[in-house]
Amino acid sequence: MTRIGTCAVGIGLCLVVVARGLGPLSGPAGAEGRVGDIALRAVHVVAEDAAPVRPGDDVVVRFLLSGRHGVDDELVVVDSDGADRVELRWDRECDGVAEPATALPLEHGAVPGAGGGPRYHVVLRSLRDGIAFGDTVTVRFGFAGAGDVAVPVPLVASRIEERGHCSDLPATPSSRPGGDDASADAVSGNPGGG
pLDDT for residue 156: 85
pLDDT for residue 19: 29
Q: How many residues does the structure list for the chain? A: 194
Residues 150-174 pLDDT 10s: 999 999 876 544 444 454 443 333 3
Between 21-25, 43-47, 49-53, 73-77, the lowest mean confidence (pLDDT) is in 21-25
pLDDT for residue 50: 66
pLDDT for residue 128: 97
User: DSSP string covering 43-86, please?
Assistant: EEEEEETTPPB-TT--EEEEEEEEEBTT--EEEEEEE-TTEEEE
Number of neighbours of residue 132 by Cβ within 10 angstroms: 10
> Phi/psi at 186 (nearest 5 deg)?
-75, -20
Q: Which amino acid is at 154?
A: P
pLDDT over 80 at 22, yes or no: no
Taking residues 117-138, what's their average pLDDT?
Answer: 88
**Rounded-to-integer distance, Cα 35 and Cα 123, Å:** 22
Residues 84-125 pLDDT 10s: 999 999 988 888 889 999 999 999 988 876 345 448 999 999
Nearest CA to 125 among 79, 171, 62? Answer: 79
Q: Where are the beta strands (DSSP E) in the chain?
A: 31-35, 38-48, 59-67, 73-79, 83-90, 99-101, 104-106, 120-127, 136-143, 147-158
Residues 35-60 pLDDT 10s: 999 999 999 998 776 677 999 999 99
CATH number of 26-187: 2.60.40.1890
Q: Where are the domains of the chain?
A: 26-187
pLDDT for residue 147: 98
Nearest CA to 105 among 90, 94, 95, 93? Answer: 90
Residues 139-150 pLDDT 10s: 999 999 999 999
**Rounded-to-integer distance, Cα 59 and Cα 11, Å:** 37
Q: Which residues pair with 137 in a beta bridge?
A: 153
Dihedral angle over CA of 118, 119, 125, 130, nearest 10: 160
> Phi/psi at 9 (nearest 5 deg)?
-70, -45
Nearest CA to 119 among 192, 38, 30? Answer: 192
Element (H, E) at 16: helix 11-20
